[in-house]
Amino acid sequence: MALRMSSLFVRTQKEDPVGAEVASHKLLHRAGYIRRSAPGIYTWLPLGLQVLGKIEAIVREEMARAGSQEVHFPGLLPADPYRKSGRWEAFGPDLFHLQDRKDNDYILAPTHEEVFTLLVKDLYSSYKDLPLSIYQVQTKYRDEARPRAGLLRGREFIMKDAYSFDIDDAGLDASYEAMRVAYLRAFARLGLPCLPVRATPGAMGGSGTEEFIYPSEVGEDTFVRSPGGYAANVEAVTSIVPDAIEYSLSPAARVEDTPDTPTIETLVDAANANHPREDRAWTAADTLKNVVCAITHPDGTREIIVIGLPGDREVDLDRAAGTGMLGNGEVGLEAATAEDLAAHPELVKGYIGPGLSPETQLLGLEGSSKVRFLLDPRVVDGTRWITGANEPGRHVFDLVAGRDFTSDGTIEAAQVVLGDPAPDGSGPLELARGVEIGQIFKLGRKYAESLDLKVLDQNGKATTVTMGSYGLGVTRVMACIAEEYHSETGLLWPQHLAPADVHIIAAGKGEEIAEAAETLTSELESEGVTVLLDDRGKVSPGFKFADAELIGIPTVIVVGRGLADGVVEVRNRLTDEKQDQPVAEVVASTVAAVRTAYATADGAADAAIADAAGGAAGGEVAAVADTSAL
């Protein structure tokens, strides 16, 4: 049945929603697809549900093609499995929790690894049952600190989450690869350019993981790419570690007075003026900056650590936390507070350093501070530093790593900057912004172990299952499609994702026009083409055109004055073409064009996979939204 503007539950809006920053948020609201219920929580209107349904259908088809079967879990879950996995704590304040009338703890699920694991444990017991891949398209709840940009970051949102279960690592590799292909295919069919980038597992745990990024300025993720096709989330970039340097001839470390040097810049100037280096000038990169940070562990304890890095670099706390180098399950990393520092009077603000020799070392678990001391990987043995002397107004010169001080390990905590050398050796890194639209994980055995998912192997021995987890943000994807496809005046969907295939406007008064629009509508619908018919009697053509532009169905047929001459106007807003067509022909040509558009979008998936296989590993997969057919 055609959607009719005369009765459709929609009221287009002239005003942007309060505080909206991005086009998708503004336009989905103004065109009557969604309404805000509460911060980060949205109600879906009929037009919105049409598009959402099409996106979900494509995702479901690609899951089925990858051999995954659909199930559906409740969103309301008992807390116990999440306690066992440690995520009751690890999710921290992002987790929505509540109690039932008997005071049992429940959560609104932020993601479903635990209960999928338990479901498989409930039903399966043998290696013969594996591999298994199951998924759902389900509502997730996360009390995001900063819900923003409409559907882009909601507190309630729809995710497709899939999980794979295998007996061994080779099986997991194959399951992961099948999902990777499914994602590339799905995003290509959805018309979204996307880039698979290396990522870090964070609180999820596990080994390999990739994020699928839609490159866009509205995104909150920064990723890097190299001329050679390497692409990674900044958290996952690994620094190129220089070789250790021979230090037997390096000068001995010494403490110097350095009054009035509160910043790295003033310190470098004073060093060059008063304590010049023999071979070249000191630079900020020769200073070792020691930054005091605080980790909040899952059990609530607070640990103070010191991160040492070259003074020309800023600390990136997200990167440091995301690397997993701080130990598993940490819940937060932040700059130390005045209170933290007060508890460690030996750390002299502005003049912190490791100490003058391994025997007298201040920093580190072995040192007198007992504060963990982690170093940027570039601080290799033999490198020579100016750093704090742990006394106000004094610095150590020529402190040599490996000779004069050691650490408790390394950490990638330095901000990645434009022009840093790419880990693949192909040249300087370029930085870009994007939106994470999906992420796939080789989880390994973390959840199977904590929830005891074992099956009997070929020898009858109980073996822990290895798992993968694969998330795709369905409602976020819809926002990204709206970002990618809109014009000055409204949304502009790829043909195959529009809420209806054709928007017919009865433009003008008179029985004939109304009747011809009705006839056209039923003829198209009988061919399987869906129609949004603007049959409103008392609305001017100008208003109808404006609404059509806002709503964004790319194929518009205007039944108006031309009818007297036996023609209607067919507009393709994607190509900006307008054409008068004889009424007698318009059904056949429209049906053909719409069918071609759907087929082209499906075909884009094959092209994407061929591209990815053609050596462009990690390269961008250009999505094809068909504009040629109409």
CA distance 622 to 619: 9
Would you call 295 helix, strand, or coil by DSSP?
A: strand
For the CB of residue 72, give the shortest distance to ligand ATP in the complex, in Å.
17
- Look at residue 437 and give the partner it binds from ligand ATP, Mg ion, none, a contact being a CB closer than 5 to 8 Å depending on partner kind: ligand ATP
Taking the least distance from each CB to ligand ATP, the nearer of 293 and 437 is 437
DSSP 228: T
Q: Quick one: which of 56, 412, 436, 547 contacts ligand ATP (CB under 6 A)?
A: 436
For residues 361 and 306, the answer to whether their CB atoms sit within 8 Å is no
Closest CA to 223 of 200, 197, 201: 197
Tell me how many degrees the CA angle 553-555-559 measures, rounded to the nearest 5: 110
Chain positions contacting Mg ion, by CB under 5 A? 439
Taking the least distance from each CB to ligand ATP, the nearer of 290 and 439 is 439
- Look at residue 441 and give the partner it binds from Mg ion, ligand ATP, none, a contact being a CB closer than 5 to 8 Å depending on partner kind: none
Taking the least distance from each CB to ligand ATP, the nearer of 47 and 90 is 90
For the CB of residue 567, give the shortest distance to ligand ATP in the complex, in Å.
45
Q: Quick one: which of 473, 490, 552, 618 contacts ligand ATP (CB under 6 A)?
A: 473
For the CB of residue 46, give the shortest distance to Mg ion in the complex, in Å.
31
Dihedral angle computed from the Cα positions of residues 595, 600, 601 and 606, in that order, rounded to the nearest 10 degrees: 140
Q: Name the residue with the smallest CB distance to ligand ATP.
A: 473
For the CB of residue 76, give the shortest distance to ligand ATP in the complex, in Å.
18
For the CB of residue 151, give the shortest distance to ligand ATP in the complex, in Å.
7
Which region among 190-198, 227-235, 326-334, 468-476 touches ligand ATP (by CB under 6 A)?
Answer: 468-476
Residues 126-165 as x/- pattern, contact with ligand ATP by CB under 6 A = ----------------x-x--------xx--x-x------
Q: Which two tokens stand for residue 34?
A: 């969604």
- Look at residue 159 and give the partner it binds from ligand ATP, Mg ion, none, a contact being a CB closer than 5 to 8 Å depending on partner kind: ligand ATP
Gyration radius of the chain over CA positions: 30
For the CB of residue 436, give the shortest distance to Mg ion in the complex, in Å.
5
- Look at residue 51 and give the partner it binds from ligand ATP, Mg ion, none, a contact being a CB closer than 5 to 8 Å depending on partner kind: none
Closest CA to 372 of 342, 398, 333, 338: 333
For the CB of residue 196, give the shortest distance to ligand ATP in the complex, in Å.
12
Taking the least distance from each CB to ligand ATP, the nearer of 198 and 476 is 476
Q: What angle, rounded to 10 degrees, do the helices at 23-30 and 474-484 form?
A: 100
Closest CA to 221 of 239, 209, 210, 235: 235
Q: Is-cis flag, bond preceding 541, omega within 30?
A: no
Taking the least distance from each CB to ligand ATP, the nearer of 44 and 247 is 44
Taking the least distance from each CB to ligand ATP, the nearer of 154 and 494 is 154
User: Considering only residues 223-282, where is the footprint of ligand ATP by CB under 6 A?
Assistant: none
Q: Name the residue with the smallest CB distance to Mg ion.
A: 439
Would you call 225 helix, strand, or coil by DSSP?
A: strand
For the CB of residue 211, give the shortest distance to Mg ion in the complex, in Å.
6
For the CB of residue 110, give the shortest distance to ligand ATP in the complex, in Å.
8
Q: In sequence order, what DSSP letters do the residues of 425-453 get, joined into one string?
A: SSSB-EEEEEEEEEEEEEEETHHHHHTT-
- 437 touching ligand ATP, by CB under 6 A: yes
CA distance 339 to 322: 25
HSE (side-chain half, CA atoms, 13 Å) at 577: 11
Closest CA to 305 of 283, 279, 327: 327
Which region among 53-61, 289-297, 301-309, 471-479 touches ligand ATP (by CB under 6 A)?
Answer: 471-479
CA distance 388 to 287: 9
Q: In sequence order, what DSSP letters do the residues of 12-65 get, joined into one string?
A: --SSPPTT--SHHHHHHHHTTSEEEEETTEEEEPHHHHHHHHHHHHHHHHHHHH
Q: In which order are the strands placed within the sheet that holds 384-388?
A: 254-257, 394-400, 384-388
For the CB of residue 234, give the shortest distance to ligand ATP in the complex, in Å.
12
- Look at residue 290 and give the partner it binds from ligand ATP, Mg ion, none, a contact being a CB closer than 5 to 8 Å depending on partner kind: none
- Look at residue 191 and give the partner it binds from ligand ATP, Mg ion, none, a contact being a CB closer than 5 to 8 Å depending on partner kind: none
For the CB of residue 218, give the shortest distance to Mg ion in the complex, in Å.
17
The bridge status of strand 555-559 relative to strand 221-225 is: unpaired
HSE (side-chain half, CA atoms, 13 Å) at 528: 6
Taking the least distance from each CB to Mg ion, the nearer of 390 and 439 is 439
Taking the least distance from each CB to ligand ATP, the nearer of 222 and 407 is 222
Total site size for ligand ATP, rule CB under 6 A: 15
CA distance 269 to 275: 10
Which region among 268-276, 311-319, 361-369, 469-477 touches ligand ATP (by CB under 6 A)?
Answer: 469-477
CA distance 491 to 61: 25
- Look at residue 361 and give the partner it binds from ligand ATP, Mg ion, none, a contact being a CB closer than 5 to 8 Å depending on partner kind: none
For the CB of residue 111, give the shortest distance to Mg ion in the complex, in Å.
9
Burial string for 131-165 (b: 16+ CB within 10 Å, else e) reads: bbbbbbbbbbbbbbeebbbbbbbbbbbbbbbbbbb
Q: Quick one: which of 87, 313, 395, 476 contacts ligand ATP (CB under 6 A)?
A: 476
User: Considering only residues 81-120, where is the footprint of ligand ATP by CB under 6 A?
Assistant: 111
- Look at residue 111 and give the partner it binds from Mg ion, ligand ATP, none, a contact being a CB closer than 5 to 8 Å depending on partner kind: ligand ATP
For the CB of residue 446, give the shortest distance to Mg ion in the complex, in Å.
16
Taking the least distance from each CB to Mg ion, the nearer of 82 and 212 is 212
Which region among 13-21, 69-77, 473-481, 506-514 touches ligand ATP (by CB under 6 A)?
Answer: 473-481
CA distance 61 to 188: 13
- Which residues would be at the binding site for ligand ATP (CB under 6 A)? 111, 142, 144, 153-154, 157, 159, 436-439, 471, 473, 475-476
